[in-house]
Structure formats: structure tokens, C-alpha cells
Amino acid sequence: MTRERGFSYLIVMFLVAAVSIISVRALRNTLTTERREKEAQLLLVGQAYRTAIFNYYQNSPGSNKTFPPELDALLLDQRATRTSRPLRKLFRDPITGSTEWGVVRSGSGGVMGVYSLSTQVPFKTNGFPPELVGFANANSYQAWRFVFQPVTQ
């Protein structure tokens, strides 16, 4: 009987260690999946901003095309006789959770694009659509710049 002392304790310690290892791996997988989802959201939101900037630029009255002066101008465009809303709301950056975006300015000072202010390294490094091919092998999310470049003749 005296030889059996502590055997149950050893089994419990082994089980605690096994559950801890499994929990850490599950947490790591969950965090990776969550970040990949945020990355996909960033691509959708960034393209929505890019499309809204394109619409604002294209709907400029007259032949003088202009970029929006600030992101807020994308919410309500009253420059023409018909009011338009290139964006319904200003989106949060899915990676940082902030409403603050990095802004790419045109030569005239208007907003021609946005980017995340996160310095994290992206998981996605290739397989981007043709309009985002420059995102491949980026060092951080800041390199993912959703910019509308007008075609010049």
C-alpha cells in the first residue's frame, strides 16, 4: 500500500500538462484564424474606400476632376445637382480597430487612397486580385495601399 502513494498525483499533473498544451495550441489557432478574417475584412474595406474615391472623382462636375479633400467628403457629395453618397459610413480599420486611417494624398492635396496604420506583418503574401498585385510580399499592413490612380491620356 505504501508504494501507491503519490501515483494519483502524478496522473493529475500529467493531465494538467496535457490540457495546458492543447489549450495553448487551440488559442494560437483561434488567434491566427481571427487575424486572417481581419485581413480579409481589410481587403474588402480598403477596396470599398478605393471604389468610393473613384466614384467621387468620376462624378466631379465639369471637366476638372478632383479627389475628396478628406474622407468625410465621401459620406455626402453635394457638388453636382444630384447628391450622391460614395460611402454610407466611414469604416474602422479591421486590423487596429481604429477609425484612423493612413491617407495617401494627391498632388493637389486630395485623398486618393487609404492604408492601415498597423505595422504587423500580413499572413497573406500572394494570390491577390490584379488591382492589388502590388500587395504581394508586403512587410506590413501599411504597405497595403488602396489607391485610386486616374488614367491619364
Write out pLDDT tens, residues 92-149. 999 999 999 999 999 889 999 999 999 999 998 888 888 888 899 999 999 999 999 9
Q: Could you give the number of structural domains in the chain?
A: 1
The answer to the question of residue 124 being in a domain is yes
Task: Give the DSSP per-residue string, the chain.
Answer: -GGGTTHHHHHHHHHHHHHHHHHHHHHHHHHHHHHHHHHHHHHHHHHHHHHHHHHHHHT-SSS-----SSGGGGT-B-SSSS-B-S-SSPPPPTTT--S--EEEE-TTS-EEEEE----PPPS--S---GGGGGGTT-SSGGG-EEE------
Question: Is residue 26 in some structural domain?
Answer: no
Q: Is residue 77 within 8 Å of residue 60, measured between CB atoms?
A: no
Determine, yes or no, domain membership for 49: yes
> pLDDT per residue over 37-91, tens digit each?
999 999 999 999 999 999 999 988 888 889 999 999 999 988 877 888 899 999 9
In a domain, 98, yes or no: yes
In a domain, 35, yes or no: no
What's the domain range around 139? 40-147
- Domain assignment present for residue 3? The answer is no
